[in-house]
Amino acid sequence: MMILGLLAGYFTLFAAGIGVALLIMKGSPRLNLIECACLAWLFGVGVVSLLLWLGETFTSGIALQCLVAVLCLALGIVGWRTKQGRQAHFSLPRPKSTVEWILAGVLLLELFIIFVVCLKHTLGWDGLLVWEIKARYAFLDSGVLPEAYYSSAGRAFSHPEYPLAIPFTELWLYLWMGAPHQFWIKTIFPLFYIAGALLVALFVTRLSGKPWLGLLAALLIPFVPFVTASPGGVIVGYSDIPLSVFYLTALGYLLCSLERNSPSALIAYASILTLIPWIKSEGIILWSLLAAMGLIVGLRQHRLRPFLVAILPGLFLITGWRVYLKAMHVVTASDFARPSFQLLRENLTRLGAIGGTAFAEITETSHWSIFWLLVLVAIIYLLIARQLLRLLLAISVLGPIILYSLTYFFSAWPSYTAHMTSSLPRLLLHVMPAGWLAIGLALQLSAPKAQTGKLESKLD
């Protein structure tokens, strides 16, 4: 019965997600099935968690579950009808050569192994005490995260101020299963990984014109030790891999929008961008960077307005969440002091130690092997190419690393280097898939020229 509930939870979530994905891609005559499935998962997570959060302000229990389920199914039906009305067809991209068949086969096997490996581990420290705790308490309180939780000083360790995308996705499955379940809930995390790996393959293929490069980049992701063999990676139920996948997706569509001037890519960028701050608080930094990059693209294409509009939903979400937390009298763990120029001036002496610690982490082969060296070489390739697309990709990888490192100027920990050592590896994970996108494009020897038409027929 519990498994049936779990499947029903996933079905409604995917129904909402595919509905949104189909509405976004309504202009495309052919719909890439793999792309739709990945987007269905990401949008499903966003829609379900947002609906639960908004819904709990005026209802709870079975009424809340029914309301969200009906809206999810309605979204699915509307999306499907739109697709049928426009006579769009699903297409499954097939490998074209023996090499591509082999790479695709190995990638499938690898994704299955990752799924199994995720089920072999317990939820990690943060997976349990920061994310699942919210889903559990909300479930025990008829689907509503109680105000007492937000204002409980004794539970400030669980960061009540963190956004609810992951916990409320877990809550949705709990509501359908009828009980909190720390084993079955782990199934959501490999799905983020699978979506991320497939989207790396898709974007590298779409931007380079070479499917084998996309498949190779996706295939190599789990060989970054921190992804599969460290606390913080895909196996422990943290939100860093999910955030990295949302970041990659928004970035990928922004680059596609620049390359092809496609309205559906722009809408996909805007939609995923909105959800980035909803995954984890650090998402605001990634959101800001991508929003700024979007404006650069808008200026370049002489159509600033749609990119300005693209920022608005995220801005509303960030503000809405802040207001909600204030209304809930949230107690926050003070890891960072309030940023100010005076504090920055006082802490400038930290610069050397911050740079040194960041360098030590990036060169830590037990965490990353030589992944960051690959990324560095890729960035050199991208910069040499002197194209806006490649320059933006380089910025999207380097920018978050620099911005994240700068935040430690405001660390309130007694030892800011200890703070860095404990959190920086997970922050670096946020740009890891974007790093693979950079590597994939660098592997392509020369920048493609006017391949777009051929590519579309290959990939869509």
> Site residues (CB under 8 A) for other proteins?
113, 116-117, 119-123, 125, 127-129, 132-133, 136-137, 140-141, 146, 148, 152-155, 157-158, 179-184, 220, 222-225, 228-229, 365-366, 369-371, 373-374, 377, 443, 445
Minimum gap (Å) between residue 135 Cβ and other proteins: 12
83 or 155: CB nearest other proteins: 155
Q: Compute, in degrees rounded to 10, the torsion defined by CA atoms 155, 156, 162, 167.
A: -10
Minimum gap (Å) between residue 123 Cβ and other proteins: 4
Phi then psi dihedrals of residue 139, to 5 deg: -60, -45
Helix axes 263-279, 240-260, angle to 10 degrees: 160
Q: Which helix (H) or strand (E) holds 32?
A: strand 30-32
Minimum gap (Å) between residue 240 Cβ and other proteins: 17
Minimum gap (Å) between residue 103 Cβ and other proteins: 14
HEC-encoded secondary structure of 76-137: HHHHHHHHHHCCCEEECCCCCCHHHHHHHHHHHHHHHHHHHHHHHCCCCHHHHHHHHHHHHH
Minimum gap (Å) between residue 439 Cβ and other proteins: 9
Phi then psi dihedrals of residue 91, to 5 deg: -140, 140
Minimum gap (Å) between residue 122 Cβ and other proteins: 4
Please tell me what DSSP assigns to residue 446: S
35 or 110: CB nearest other proteins: 110
351 or 412: CB nearest other proteins: 412
* Neighbour count for residue 365 (Cβ, 10 Å): 11
- The two structure tokens encoding residue 380: 């050199």
20 or 144: CB nearest other proteins: 144
Residues 6 or more apart whose CB falls under 8 angstroms from that of 340 comprise none
181 or 210: CB nearest other proteins: 181
Minimum gap (Å) between residue 369 Cβ and other proteins: 4
Q: Which amino acid is at 51?
A: L
Minimum gap (Å) between residue 365 Cβ and other proteins: 5
CB 49 within 8 A of CB 109: no
Distance between CA atoms of residues 214 and 218, nearest Å: 6
Distance between CA atoms of residues 405 and 428, nearest Å: 10
Burial of residue 97, with CB atoms counted within 10 A of its CB: 0-12 exposed, 13-18 middle, 19 or more buried: exposed
CB 117 within 8 A of CB 228: yes
Q: Kindly report the CA angle at 419 between 415 and 423, in degrees rounded to 5?
A: 170
CB 207 within 8 A of CB 441: yes
Minimum gap (Å) between residue 68 Cβ and other proteins: 23
Minimum gap (Å) between residue 328 Cβ and other proteins: 15
